């Protein structure tokens, strides 16, 4: 009889843990959402090309906060629309109807950005 009570208690504790973990996961998935509804901060960086180089405005962002790159494809000739940030696994071909890409920089430093053929270049600083 005693062991039955013990089992019941263990099951109760496991259920509480599962519920607690579930709430944690729900919270976490909201935190990782696109932030459009939650009012979470997103750093917007305008991207264009000038004199054959990528221009990021601003060219410096904060670590750990999502970045949304908004490309002005009217100022991006040819293959410069094929945009890569190797350090953050960003690869995106911008079009006039799909001109944004989001990522969260998880390390600080000065990072190269380039087109997929490494012709157009630029840098993004993460502080």
Which 17-76 residues touch Cu ion, going by CB under 5 A? none
Cβ atoms of 24 and 93 within 8 Å: the answer is no
Q: Smallest distance from the beta carbon of 101 to Cu ion, in angstroms?
A: 17
Which 86-115 residues touch Cu ion, going by CB under 5 A? 115
Q: Smallest distance from the beta carbon of 114 to Cu ion, in angstroms?
A: 8
Q: Smallest distance from the beta carbon of 82 to Cu ion, in angstroms?
A: 6
Cα distances (Å, whole numbers) of residue 78 to 54, 71, 83, 117, 122: 13, 13, 11, 11, 16
- Of 12 and 119, CB closest to Cu ion: 119
Which of 8, 33, 119, 121 binds Cu ion (CB under 5 A)? It is: 119
Cβ atoms of 58 and 88 within 8 Å: the answer is no
Which of 11, 26, 79, 110 binds Cu ion (CB under 5 A)? It is: 79
Which range of residues in 15-23, 38-46, 61-69, 78-86 is near Cu ion by CB under 5 A? 78-86
Which range of residues in 13-21, 55-63, 96-104, 118-126 is near Cu ion by CB under 5 A? 118-126
Residues that bind Cu ion (CB under 5 A): 79, 115, 117, 119
């Amino acid at each position: 009889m005693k062991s039955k009570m013990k089992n019941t208690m263990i099951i109760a504790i496991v259920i509480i843990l599962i519920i607690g973990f579930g709430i944690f996961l729900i919270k976490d998935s909201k935190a990782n959402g696109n932030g459009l509804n939650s009012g979470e901060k997103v750093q917007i960086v305008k991207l264009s090309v000038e004199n054959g180089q990528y221009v990021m405005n601003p060219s410096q962002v904060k670590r750990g906060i999502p970045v949304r790159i908004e490309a002005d494809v009217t100022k991006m000739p040819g293959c410069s629309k094929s945009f890569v940030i190797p350090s953050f696994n960003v690869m995106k071909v911008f079009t006039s109807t799909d001109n944004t890409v989001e990522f969260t920089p998880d390390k600080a430093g000065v990072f190269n950005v380039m087109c997929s053929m490494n012709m157009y270049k630029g840098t993004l600083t993460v502080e």
